[in-house]
Structure 1
Amino acid sequence: MFALDRLPLAERYAELLATEGVLRGLIGPREAPRLWDRHLVNCALLASAIPTGASVCDVGSGAGLPGLVLAIARPDLRVTLVEPLLRRTTFLTEVVSELELATVEVVRARADALHGERRFAVVTSRAVAPLERLLDWSMPLVEPSGELLAMKGSSAAVEVEDAAAALNRWGCGVPEIRDLTAPGGGVSPTVVVRVAWADPSRVSWPIVAPRRRAGPEPRRRDGRGTAKRRRRA
């Protein structure tokens, strides 16, 4: 997960989360003793699903999870942390400066402010919003050959089902639910929902949000709204 030369950076980031992160209300006091298993390792497992040299946008980055962890674990990635709250972007900027993470950019903005301006190979998020809403914020940032990687919990399959109409509206392919596990086990798997475009050749730039139908959208029960479950070691 963390190479030996990157481990000191991860340890310092954990210290900052447990001190300044708690003082500024970015991490709950009860989370401090379990930062490694519950947060850092959980996010570091996502790194194995990201292509080499990819541009990554972390939507609603908060205290930097998973964006900062990805930048620490994978110095080959170009990571943009998108977060609208000043107290969070201030913390993120301070961490980036102290750890000298030259491949990280902090942007204080809502994700939709970047629509039509920026696009990325991978768009990540963790505990930001249900998948249905996340698609509206994230898919306009995903380049034609790119993907959305949303970290989810035990409700991943339910969220995919609930987002069936939105997935169809955006022209997404069949989502995959992946379980990313640490070598040797010992920690809970990281559950990730992967969403890509159904037909990259039909994705034009800038991406225009599709119109919602009037009234509630019925759930689809066909293949497009059904998630594929895949386990990854």
Structure 2
Amino acid sequence: MAKREDCSPSLVRTLCEKAGFALTAEQAAELAGYLDLLMRWNRMMNLVGARHWRDALDELILDSFHLNAFLRKNILPDLPPEPVTWDLGSGAGLPGIPLRMVWNDGSYWMVESRDKRTIFLSTVLARHPLKDTHVFRGRAEQFMEGKKADLIVSRAFMPWKDMLSFVSGHLTENGRVVFLTREELRPDDDLPWTLTAVAPYQAGNATRYFCAFRERRD
């Protein structure tokens, strides 16, 4: 297994290319810097389950690059050119930070209530600034009050049906909620939401899914 100090921009770029994602030299440097910070902080606090940066790349980072492709194909054509995006319960900045390295349209808000995690996120952005990408320290209810988003992304903020109820009324007319899940979501007929897109993708040996919902307004 490669040593942690082997997390260089050139190696990160090569591994991403092998996985099918071409990065610029600048993007590779940003990603290597983020991975290095993630592993350093992970030894002091439990940010992610991965204990080696290669595992974090394979199990967590590549999700963000798959998400970028999913959004561009299935979601962004229906949204304004500069969408407002909320990442609720962003934790260690996944999927948000790697996503913003390859897609930086509009504004992106990482909302996190746990102080240590918001300090980590702010540290990452201080060292590797990402266009119009922000950290909100506090509860999601407080952040959302009086606001609407064009896009909301969620990895594991709360059970998906609870999440849809939680954000109801906080989306613009064509707004979407996108979940990163380990299984395909199948909504009930009486759920006041429409499943607009589902896409499986491979993460190592596992199949994961993106599932997008739009709130019905009839």
Which of the five TM-score ranges fits, normalised by the shorter chain? Answer: 0.7 to 0.9
Asked if 1:177 corresponds to 2:206, the answer is no
Hey, what's the Cα distance between the residues in 2 that align with 1:2 and 1:127? Answer: 27
The residue type equivalent to 2:212 in the other structure is: R
47-56 vs 190-199, greater mean Cα deviation: 47-56
CA contact (8 A) 2:84 2:107 kept: yes
Q: Report 1:1-233 matches (<5 A).
A: 1=21, 3-4=23-24, 5-28=26-49, 30=51, 32-50=53-71, 51=76, 53-154=82-183, 156-157=184-185, 160-161=186-187, 165=190, 167-168=191-192, 172-180=193-201, 190-199=208-217
Aligned partner letter, 1:149:
V
Give me the whole-angstrom Cα distance separating, in 1, the residues matched to 2:67 and 2:205. 14
1:139–1:148 Cα contact (<8 Å) kept: no
Cα deviation 1:148-167 (Å, max 9, x = unaligned): 0010003x33xx34x655x3
CA–CA distance in structure 2, aligned partners of residues 23 and 118 of structure 1:
35
Q: Distance in 2 between matches of 1:173 and 1:136?
A: 13
Corresponding letter in the other structure for 1:3:
L
Residue pair 1:175, 1:194 contacting (<8 A) in 2 also: yes
State the Cα distance separating 1:115 from its structure 2 match. 3.3
Shift of 1:22: 3.5
Q: 1:23 is matched by which residue type in structure 2? A: M
1:110 positional shift: 1.9
Q: Is the 8 A contact 2:195 2:211 kept in 1?
A: no
Q: Unaligned regions of 5+ residues in structure 1, if any?
A: 203-233
State the secondary structure of the residue aligned to 1:123.
strand
- Cα offset, 1:33, TM superposition: 4.1
Maintained 8 Å contact 1:114/1:141: no
Q: How far does the alpha carbon of each residue in 1:65-115 deviate from its partner, in whole angstroms, 9 at most, with x for none?
A: 011121112122421000111111110011011101231110012222233
Alignment partners' CA distance in 2, 1:179 and 1:145: 23
> Retained in 1: the 8 A contact 2:36–2:53?
no
With structure 2 as the length reference, what TM-score do the two structures score?
Answer: 0.76
Task: Write the distance in 2 (CA, Å) between the matches of 1:71 and 1:116.
Answer: 24
**Alpha-carbon distance in structure 2 between the residues aligned to 1:138 and 1:180:** 26
Paired position in structure 1 for 2:6: none
Percent of pairs identical after alignment?
21
What RMSD over aligned residues (CA atoms) do the two structures have, in Å? Answer: 2.4
User: What is the aligned partner in structure 2 of residue 228 from structure 1?
Assistant: none
**Contact in 2 for aligned 1:60/1:82 (Cα 8 Å):** yes
Query: Does structure 2 retain, via aligned residues, the 8 Å contact 1:121–1:146?
Result: yes
Change over 3 Å in CA distance of 1:104–1:132 after alignment to 2? same
